[in-house]
Structure 1
Amino acid sequence: MIRCFAFALVLPCSVSFAQSNVTLYGIVDVGVNYLSNAQTGHTSSGMHGKSQVAMMDGGTGGLQGSRWGLRGAEDLGGGYKAVFNLESGFNMNNGALGQGGAEFGRQAWVGVAGPYGRVTLGRQYDEVVDFVAPLLAAPQWGGYMVEHPSDLDNASNTRRSNNSIKYMSPNMKGFTFGGLYSFGGVAGSFGTNSIWSLGASYTGGPFSIGAGFVNARNPNTSYFGSNPNAGPATSNNLGSVGSATTAQSNPVFAGYASAKTLQIAAIAANYTVGQATFGVAYTNTRFEDLGSSSGPNPFHYTGTAYFHNVEVNTRYQITPTLQFGAAFDYTKGVGADGHSGAKYELASMGLDYALSKRTDVYSLLVYEHASGTDSLNQPAVATITGMTPSATSNQVAVRLGMRHKF
C-alpha cells in the first residue's frame, strides 16, 4: 500500500493493491535401511565389505529427500505474475544441510509467469528432470534406491544447474516444452562450463510421453561440481576410487571426470489401464572427449564412454490407500579406449500405505547384479543409488520408512 497524505496536496496520486501469496511447504522422510554388502575398503587382496543397518534420510535411501521451502507469487496485472521458489534440503538423521551445505540447495529461483509461459533465473532443474523423470519408477513410487545406477542420467535430480535461465511453456492441450541455459561465467570463453537443456511432454487421456536432452561442458565442474563442497577441476567431483579404509564413490562413472562434454538423451512413456500404470524408458549418457583438462584422469582414458539404459515399470493401486510398484532396469556401459564396459541389472519392488493424505509408511526391496569392467578399470561392483557400493557383483537393500508432507 502506498501512502499519499503529504503528496496529495500537490500531486495526483494513485494507489494500487497487488495480490500476493507465500506458501511454506516441506517433506520429512526417514527410515531404516539394511544393505547386504557395503564396501569398507580395498587392498591388494581385493574388496572388503560387511552388511550394514543404518537410519537414512529419504534423500539417500527413501522416497524423497527431506526439505522445506517457500514458494510465492505476486499479481502484476495483465495476466502476469512474479514468482519465486526457495527450497532447502536437509538430513533428517542429524539436521545437516543437504546438497553439499547449500542453504537453498534444491532450488533457488525467481521469475515472471504469464499467458505465454514462465521465465525464471537461478539454481534450477534441467529438462530431463522436468519432462522425463515424472514417468519413471523412482519419482512415482520407488525413490532413490530404485533409480538407475548412481543416477548416471540425473533422472532423480541429484544435480542442479547454477546460474541458469529457464523457459517453460504453458500447457497447450496436453503439450508442454521448455529450455534451460546455464552460464559458465568464464571471462573470454562463453561456452566454458555452460549447460543447455531442452525437453517436451504430452499427456492425453491414459497416455503420457516425455523427452529431454542435456549438454554440459566441463561437467566435472559445471554439472557434478555445482554444490558448495565441490572441488576445483583438479578434484574428482564425480566420485572416488576409495582406499584401504574408505569405500569407493560412484564407480559406475567416477573414472570419467576428464570428459570435456556430458550428453544425456532420455525418453519415457506411461499408459494407464484401470488401477494399473505401465511405463517404459530409455536413456543414453555419454562422457565425451575424455582426457581433457576438465578433471583428473588417473586411468589415462581417451575418446568416449557411454551408457544405454532401459527401464520397465508398473504400479498398481490395490486399494485407495495401498499402492504396489515393481520395476526392472538394465544398464549397458561401453568403456573408453575400446574397453567392454559394465552391465548393471536392477530389480525392485515397493509397497506404500497411506495413513492420511499427508502421511504414509512404505517398504522397498532392491537387488542389483553387476558384471564386466567399470569406470575404475576393475571388475564391476553392484552400486545401488544412494547406498555404499558393494564389495562384490551383487547387493540387496531393504528399507522401512515413513514420510510426512506439510
Structure 2
Amino acid sequence: MTKNKFAKAWPLAILALAPAAWAQSQLTLYGIIDTNIEYVNHQPKGGNESASLLRMSNSGLQGPRVGFRGVEDLGGGLKAIFTLEHGFNSDTGTNADAAKFFNRGAFVGLQSANHRVTLGRQYTSLFDALLFIVPLAYAGAYEPFSPLLGGLRNDNSVKYRFNADALSAQVHYAFGEQTSSTSASAAWGGHFSYANKDLMATLAFDQQNGADVNGAHSRARKVALGAAYQFTPAVRLSTGYRWGESKDAAGGIALRDDFYWLGVNYQATGALTLNAAYYLDDIKQRAGAGNQPRQQQLTLQAIYALSKRTDLYGGAAYAKNGGLNFAALSTLAVGSKNQSGVSLGIRHRF
C-alpha cells in the first residue's frame, strides 16, 4: 500500500514542479514580410531589343521570413538556444529555396555570457562581420551583397563566438562530408571585431571549397576590412574593402577582384532615415575574358517608419558596366552596359 501511494504521488509531484521548469524557457515566433514594386530598364526583350520592366518583388530591405527562436536557462549562466528560419517569396507565396525549408537557418547550441557554440546551417563569419559595416545592411534595393560575400550560409557548420566588452571574435567550420577529401566542399572563416558607442571595425576571412574533382577542388577566398563611425546622433559613415580570389580545380584564376564601398546614413527625423552608398568592384582577372571594366553602383534609399514594426521605403540605383547589384552584363539587353532601377515598398516585422 505504501509503495502504491508513492507511485501515485510521483506524477503529481512532477506536475507541481513542471511550471517552474517551463518558466525558464522561452520560445519566440517572429517574421518579416517585405514586398515592393520595382521598375528596371535595359531588360532583354528578344533579339537585340531592350525593354523596361515593371514588376512586384520582395526583399527590398530584408528577405521575407518566418522563424522560431528558443532559449532555455540551464542554470549557472548557461543557456541552450536554437533557431529555425524559413524564407519565402512574399510576392508569390512560394518557398525562397525549393530544396531547403529552413533555408535561412537551422541550428542549435549553447551560450554563456561570453561564449557561444552553435551547430547546423548558419551564416558565414564574413556575413556576420559586415552586417553593420556595409551601408544598407544587405538590402536587396539596392546593395550588391552577393558578389561582396559569395556564399551567405554554410550547411553542416560549427560556429564559436567570443565577446568581452567591446571586443568580439568568431570562427566557423563547415564539414564537407566527402569520403574522398576532408577539404572538398568544406568551408571556414572568422572575424575579429571591435565596437563601442560610436565606432565599429572588423577584419574578416572566408574560404569556401568546391566538390572533389579527380582529387582536386575549386576554392574561393575573401578577406575584408571595414569600419563604421557615428559622427553625430544623426550621421553615420561606413567604408570598407574586400579582397577576393577564386580558383578552379586545376588552380587557374576564375576571378580576382577588389571590392570597395562607402556609405552615409542620415537620421533626418525620428521617423525618416536617408541613406546613400557607392560601390566599386574592380575585377582584375576573370577566366575566359580580357580586360574587365570596373563595375560601379550608386544607391539612394529612404525609409519612413510608420511604427516600430512597419516601414515604407524607396530605393533608386544606377549601375555602370553591369546590372543592378553587379549582375553580369549577360543578363542585360544586348549592347547595354548599365542599368537603373527604382523600388517602392513596405516592410512589416512581427
Identify the TM-score tier after normalising by the shorter chain: 0.7 to 0.9
Question: Deviation digits for residues 325-364 of structure 1, max 9, x if unmatched?
Answer: 0011111102246832331010010111110111010110
Partner of 2:168: 176
**Bigger strand share:** 2
Partner of 2:87: 89
d(CA) in 1 for partners of 2:276, 2:158: 36
d(CA) in 2 for partners of 1:269, 1:116: 23
> 1:200 aligned to 192, 211, 222, which one?
192
The one-letter amino acid of 2:140's match is: Y
The one-letter amino acid of 2:149's match is: N
TM-score, length basis structure 1: 0.76
Question: Deviation digits for residues 102-141 of structure 1, max 9, x if unmatched?
Answer: 21100100011123411111000001111112211231xx
Give the length in aligned residue pairs: 333
CA RMSD of aligned residues (A): 2.7
Q: CA deviation at 1:313?
A: 0.2
d(CA) in 1 for partners of 2:44, 2:293: 19
Q: Is it true that 1:210 corresponds to 2:202 in the alignment?
A: yes
Q: CA deviation at 1:50?
A: 1.4
The one-letter amino acid of 1:322's match is: L
The one-letter amino acid of 1:151's match is: S
Kept in 2, the 8 Å contact 1:144–1:386? The answer is no
Q: Is it true that 1:190 corresponds to 2:132 in the alignment?
A: no
Structure 1 residue ranges, 4+ long, deviating more than 4 angstroms after superposition: 12-17, 385-388
Partner SS state of residue 342, structure 1: coil
Kept in 2, the 8 Å contact 1:34–1:398? The answer is yes
Partner SS state of residue 230, structure 2: strand
Partner of 1:403: 347
d(CA) in 2 for partners of 1:153, 1:108: 23
Structure 1 6/40 Cα, relative in aligned 2: closer, same or farther at 3 Å? farther
Partner SS state of residue 149, structure 2: coil
Partner SS state of residue 144, structure 1: coil
> 2:229 aligned to 236, 258, 271, which one?
271
- Give 1:7-406 correspondences, 5 Å limit: 17-18=20-21, 19-40=24-45, 47-58=48-59, 62-139=60-137, 143-148=139-144, 151-154=146-149, 159-170=152-163, 172-218=164-210, 260-274=218-232, 275-289=234-248, 291=250, 302-336=252-286, 339-370=290-321, 381-384=322-325, 389-391=331-333, 392-406=336-350
Moved more, 266-275 or 81-90: 266-275
d(CA) in 2 for partners of 1:181, 1:161: 9
d(CA) in 1 for partners of 2:310, 2:6: 52
The one-letter amino acid of 2:41's match is: S
Question: Deviation digits for residues 77-117 of structure 1, max 9, x if unmatched?
Answer: 11111100000000011111113442110010001112341
Structure 1 15/144 Cα, relative in aligned 2: closer, same or farther at 3 Å? same
Q: CA deviation at 1:190?
A: 1.2
Kept in 2, the 8 Å contact 1:79–1:114? The answer is yes
Kept in 2, the 8 Å contact 1:20–1:74? The answer is yes
d(CA) in 1 for partners of 2:63, 2:174: 24
Partner SS state of residue 189, structure 1: coil
Kept in 2, the 8 Å contact 1:193–1:217? The answer is yes
Q: CA deviation at 1:160?
A: 1.2
d(CA) in 2 for partners of 1:191, 1:384: 31
d(CA) in 1 for partners of 2:94, 2:345: 19
Structure 1 100/399 Cα, relative in aligned 2: closer, same or farther at 3 Å? same
Kept in 1, the 8 Å contact 2:147–2:326? The answer is no
Partner of 1:246: none
TM-score, length basis structure 2: 0.87
The one-letter amino acid of 2:154's match is: S
Q: Mind listing any 5+ residue stretches in structure 2 that lack a counterpart?
A: none
d(CA) in 2 for partners of 1:273, 1:162: 39
Q: CA deviation at 1:173?
A: 1.5
d(CA) in 2 for partners of 1:394, 1:5: 80
Kept in 1, the 8 Å contact 2:34–2:62? The answer is yes
Partner SS state of residue 90, structure 2: coil
Question: Deviation digits for residues 166-193 of structure 1, max 9, x if unmatched?
Answer: 11113x1211111110000011421111
Q: Mind listing any 5+ residue stretches in structure 1 that lack a counterpart?
A: 223-232, 234-257, 293-301, 371-380
Question: Deviation digits for residues 15-44 of structure 1, max 9, x if unmatched?
Answer: 6743101000000000100001123466xx
Partner SS state of residue 307, structure 2: coil
d(CA) in 2 for partners of 1:362, 1:50: 25
